[in-house]
Chains A and B, each alone.
Chain A
Amino acid sequence: MTERLKFLIFFCILFLTLPVPVCSQVALRMIGPEDLGGAWAEIVRRFHERNPEIGIQYIPGPWSTEQRQDMYIRSFMSGDAFELVYMDVIWTAKFAEKGWLLPLEDWFPSEKREVFLQGDIEAGQYKGRFYRAPVRSDAGVLYYRRDLIPHPPKTWREFEEICRKYSSPPERYGIVFQGMQYEGLVCNYLEYLWGAGGSVLDEEGKVHLKTQENVVALKFMKKIIDENWAPKSVITFQEQHSLEFFEKGKALMMRNWPYAWKALNDSPLRGKIGIAPFIHRRGKEPASTLGGWGLGIARAGKHPKAAGRFVQFVTSPEAQKILHFKTGATPSRKSLFRDEGILKESPYYRELYEILSWARPRPVHPDYAKMSSILQKHVSSVLIGIESPEEAGRDMQRSLEGLLKGKRENWLKRLFLDDDLHQTVKNTALFTLISVPLEFFLGLLMALFIHLPFRGRNLGRLAVLIPWALPTAVMAMTWQWMFNNPFGVINDALIRTGLLSTPADWLSTAGGAMAAALFADIWKTTPFAVIILLSGLQSVPRELQESLSLDGAGPLKRFFHLTLPMLIPFIRVALIFRMIHAAGIFDLIWVLTQGGPADSTRTLSLYLYDLAFRYDEIGYALFLTFLFLAALVLMSFGITRGLTFRYEKVGK
């Protein structure tokens, strides 16, 4: 190797690895959803015109708010925080508790806050300080077809009557809502719970879910699906799905946020839509879940003044109007509900103002994310029918109490209180116990086959290698697409070959999702077993094979008496590797199912990741990681022991 070449390589490495310098100009970043309608582009442009020294970068993130929250949390933890924090109401308590946010009193002294809706301001406070300036307000409302039903239902009873009388599934269902296992499900569920007179926490902050009200609420939600008032697929719906379903005229009513009005008004349904408070149990109060988004400033950001200016601009009437007209966002300023331009476009704003005034916030608690994931899981379990409402009520109570109590206990005691841990360990064990043996046997068969001498076996080797070489996370997207219902190829192929009579909901049922994950994993990792076993087969001396066969031993006998014993060390390696990696599976499941539905595919490493990077409990996560590793080591010893034959021991 010449000196020059060495030099070149050295410089390449240097260049490739040098940290890229950050721009010195004031640049602020924020993450939001896809900028539909270009509202944020417009806001950013107008702001930049007036403040040319400040550049705002709007990063379009995933649609799912939970994923965007994870992005923010990871950025805070990494020390390279996104300067502008575009927050859902429910993030405020946690972000503030962790000290990630700057209080905003300098820009929004209390007298200036009065122009905003009361609920939004309260939701932006934590322990007496103000952290989140409301950009858009939100509350769950009931949309109904004015042309199809005479008046909107007020109570559950009226709702049932209307569904019985006017719905005709599968052409037209009674209602669509958000039934997927995610935050939106909790928003929906709380409206039933509150509407039945219940609540999550009582006045003293104690969990209050083992109650008749809760059972009644869950039963009613279940009934809506069982009676076919809502389509079965509602358990895979988020806001956008419900909207599209409703827009196609396939439902009489829809629970959604006010933003949907604009889309409906631009659709053929224009003029046929009414808006009403959400239904409640007779004799109780209607309630709707407070939503909405606001801006905060990251404490770690280097330019709080510039950020403050932008926050003030985004909460101004000018920017809120842009958001309203381009995306249908509900303003958070009271005066805009009397604005003529807005009222002309959205005459229902008078009613909406009313609904917003009795909207209730979700429990304000730094651990809300975890509380919500427990609620999501059990509500989802009820909807898909793996838990009865009574069981769910009991489990919610126990899990939430365990959560609030477990946080105070030491880690060892917490192990026994941690329901998520128990569930994820169970899933991991199930996944490993099924996938590893299957992969192994399939791998053995394939290795034996490829080892046969025949023309074209190189093609076989190549084919077998390919799944192993492809990126797991990326191929998980392909599997998600192939398991899609109704556009996925797997259902199609199964139906065409007559193996299935109706399309299966692979990724939205508990069993289906697990089966899909197993299938994809077996596809992806069988080649690994093949590679190891193939090298074992190559180590079997040909002469021995031949002499055995001269002695009259058939292929089966040769396999069991010569090949298999010689393969044992390789089998051991393959099994240990595969067991450890199957138990630690992350990529595939994170992309394919995100652990859902109802946590049925959530494995231990997903839980550990969430603990560390969503709930910010690194200590506890590391403690569990350590236990997990110890268990894996023990099991590896077990495999080694179990697969060592007597003669091997003698030999040593």
Chain B
Amino acid sequence: MKKVIIYVLLAVISVYCLFPFLWTILTALKPQEHIFKLPIRYLPERISLENLENVFSKRPFARYILNSLVVSGGATLLTLCAASLIAFRLKKMEIEQSLKIQRGLLIMAIVPPALLVIPVFMVIRKLDLVNHYLGLILPYVALNLPFAVWMLHAAFRQLPKELDEAAMLDGFSSSRILFGIVLPLSRPALAITGVLVFIFCWNEFILALTLMPSQMRYTVPVGVAMLSGASVYEIPWGEINAAVMLTTVPVILLMVFLQRWIMEGLTRGAVKG
């Protein structure tokens, strides 16, 4: 009996969480004329790829994907580099002190991007980087750094201190300890942090909208959001759903494959704080 309740609850929660995504896929795979047919058919009568094709043929969607990949990928790499240096330095400090610094970093990370967008825009314009990839990558690194430091620091601290000390005695320089010992040993944490930072950047909207206003520089979320605009009868709901599907499926796949590590990494990071 107890088991039945548990599985009913599990089913309810899963449907609640997954339904919007599933509905998008179902809509995207329906042929145009069935999308606007009443009463609504929940399952497509036949699978059609016409919406997916239209997304690429009618708009520079491939370009949006490229933009997103470049920006998210670049930001992730830079974030990881900077964060591992910082976390490595923090590891050497007293725990109390390093926690203080991390808290300070986290407080800055709390501010929602919507409140940062105006000053960030002013800075990027001064640097003449509007519509350049770098102009979006830099703010992304800044935004994600606290989180990455947090995650990596938690991982680095798990490594025994004796390891560093032994390496030091052997005459290893700090950079060799970091690149030769600490980083290779923390590969799983690096991977998880990298994946999460990548997802955050992939999903970010308001900065991308503002800092890369030219259409050829749209990232995927901006491109998808700009698919609206036209009037209700003209809104290409089939294409929009196809675009949403293309944007979200990679994220979902990453989550499916890495869910255990991600959950562990996230909760461990939080516990340590």
Contact = CB atoms under 8 A, between A and B. Distances in A.
B133 A17 contact: yes
Interface stretch (B43-51, B92-100, B161-169, B264-272): B264-272
Interface residues on B, range: 35 or more
SS class of chain A's interface: helix, strand, loop or mixed?
A: helix
Given A16-B74, A492-B40, A240 B228 contact: no
Interface in B188-245: 199, 202-206, 210-211, 213-215, 220-222, 224-234, 237, 240-241, 243-244
B118 A625 contact: yes
Given A16-B74, A452-B6, A78 B263 contact: no
Contact of B13 (A449, A477, A612): A449
Nearest to B68: A471
Given A471-B247, A475-B248, A64 B263 contact: no
A478 B20 contact: yes
A586 B252 contact: no
Contact of B248 (A9, A470, A580, A584): A470
A577 interface: yes
B184 to A, nearest CB: 7
Contacts of A538: 267, 271
B229 A61 contact: yes
A463 B13 contact: yes
Given A62-B230, A584-B112, A608-B114, A474 B225 contact: yes
Nearest to A579: B110
A499 interface: no
Interface residues of A, number: 97
B221 A62 contact: no
A17 B214 contact: no
B24 A478 contact: yes
Interface string B121-153: 110010011111110010000000000000000
A532 B213 CA distance: 35
A19 B114 contact: no
B9 A13 contact: no
Contact of B231 (A77, A238, A466): A238
Contact of B20 (A1, A17, A475): A475
A550 interface: no
B1 interface: no
A538 B272 CA distance: 12
B271 A474 contact: no
Interface stretch (A186-194, A361-369, A482-490): A482-490
B13 A17 contact: no
Contacts of A476: 225
A628 interface: yes
A620 to B, nearest CB: 11
A456 B10 contact: yes
A122 interface: no
A577 B106 CA distance: 11
Interface in B238-264: 240-241, 243-244, 247-248, 251-252, 254-256, 259-260, 262-263
B122 A618 contact: yes
Residue among B39, B180, B228, B260 with max Cβ neighbours from chain A (10 Å): B228
Interface in A577-598: 577, 580-581, 583-587, 590-591
Nearest to A449: B9
A481 interface: yes
A462 B251 CA distance: 12
Contact of A463 (B14, B206, B220, B237): B14
A379 B119 CA distance: 34
Contact of B125 (A1, A19, A77): A77
Contact of A454 (B6, B214, B243, B256): B6
Nearest to A591: B225
B177 interface: no
A197 to B, nearest CB: 32
- Most chain A CB within 10 A, of B118, B215, B220, B244, is at B118
A140 B231 CA distance: 19
B86 interface: no
Contacts of B254: 469
A634 interface: no
- Considering residues A13, A17, A34, A472, which has the most beta carbons from chain B within 10 angstroms of its beta carbon? A17
Contacts of B111: 580, 584, 629
Q: Which of B7, B23, B211, B256 has the most CB of A within 10 A?
A: B23
A59 interface: yes
Interface of A: 1, 9, 12-13, 16-20, 34, 59, 61-64, 67, 71, 74-75, 77-80, 236, 238-241, 244, 446, 449, 452, 454, 456-467, 469-482, 484, 486-487, 489, 492, 523, 527, 531-532, 534-536, 538-539, 570, 573, 576-577, 580-581, 583-587, 590-591, 605, 608-609, 612-613, 618, 621-622, 625, 628-629
14 contacts: A17-B78, A62-B226, A62-B230, A78-B125, A240-B231, A244-B233, A460-B10, A469-B254, A471-B203, A471-B205, A477-B240, A477-B241, A479-B20, A535-B269
